[in-house]
C-alpha cells in the first residue's frame, strides 16, 4: 500500500474512532422533544378520559332520574308523569354509587333534570396540568297522559 493512501486511511480511522460514544446535539434535542410530546399526549389523553367519564356519569345519572315515574298516578290511570323529587333522589343515588360528586337540579320550567359532575384529574408528567373536569348531563322529564 502506498504511504499516502495509508496515511489517509489512518486519518479517517482516527477521526471515526474519536466519535465513538458521542451523541450529536441534534439527536439529543430530538429525543428530548419526542419525550416532551409523548408526555403532552399522555397527560392530554388522561384529562380527556376523565372528562369523558364525568360526562358519561352525568348523563347516566340524569337518565336514572328521568325514570322516576310517579307510580301512584300511573296505577290510578292518571297518566305517566315523573316525580320530580324522586328523580332528584334517584340521580343523587346514582352519583353516590358511582363515587363522584355532583349537583342535581330540576330546571326552572320543571321540564328537565340537569346533572353536573366534577372530577379531579392528576397529571402524571406535567404537574401544572392537574385540575378538575366538569361533565354535564340532562334528561327531559316528559309525561304521557
Residue 43 lies in a domain: yes
Share of the chain above pLDDT 90, in %: 51
- The answer to the question of residue 145 being in a domain is no
Q: How many domains does the chain divide into? A: 1
4 pLDDT above the threshold of 80: no
Q: Residue 55 domain-assigned?
A: yes
Domain interval for residue 97:
22-140
Is the Cβ–Cβ distance between 46 and 123 less than 8 Å?
Answer: yes
DSSP summary character for residue 24: -
102 inside domain? yes
pLDDT at 126: 83
Q: Could you report the per-residue pLDDT of 44-54, keeping only the tens digit for each?
A: 999 999 999 99
Note whether residue 13 is domain-resident. no
Secondary structure of residue 20 in the 3-state scheme? coil
**Residue 30 lies inside a defined structural domain of this protein:** yes
143 pLDDT band, cuts 50/70/90, is low
Q: Which cell is 21 given? A: 460514544
- Per-residue pLDDT reduced to its tens digit, 71-122: 777 777 777 777 888 899 999 999 999 999 999 998 888 788 999 999 999 9
Amino acid at each position: 500500500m502506498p504511504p499516502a493512501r495509508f496515511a489517509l486511511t489512518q486519518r479517517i480511522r482516527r477521526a471515526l474512532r474519536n466519535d465513538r460514544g458521542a451523541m450529536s446535539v441534534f439527536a439529543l434535542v430530538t429525543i428530548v422533544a419526542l419525550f416532551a410530546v409523548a408526555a403532552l399526549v399522555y397527560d392530554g389523553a388522561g384529562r380527556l378520559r376523565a372528562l369523558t367519564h364525568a360526562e358519561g356519569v352525568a348523563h347516566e345519572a340524569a337518565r336514572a332520574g328521568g325514570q322516576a315515574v310517579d307510580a301512584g298516578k300511573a296505577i290510578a290511570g292518571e297518566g305517566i308523569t315523573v316525580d320530580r323529587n324522586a328523580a332528584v333522589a334517584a340521580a343523587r343515588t346514582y352519583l353516590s354509587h358511582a363515587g363522584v360528586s355532583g349537583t342535581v337540579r330540576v330546571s326552572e320550567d320543571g321540564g328537565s333534570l340537569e346533572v353536573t359532575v366534577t372530577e379531579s384529574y392528576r397529571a402524571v408528567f406535567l404537574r401544572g396540568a392537574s385540575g378538575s373536569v366538569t361533565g354535564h348531563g340532562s334528561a327531559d322529564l316528559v309525561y304521557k297522559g
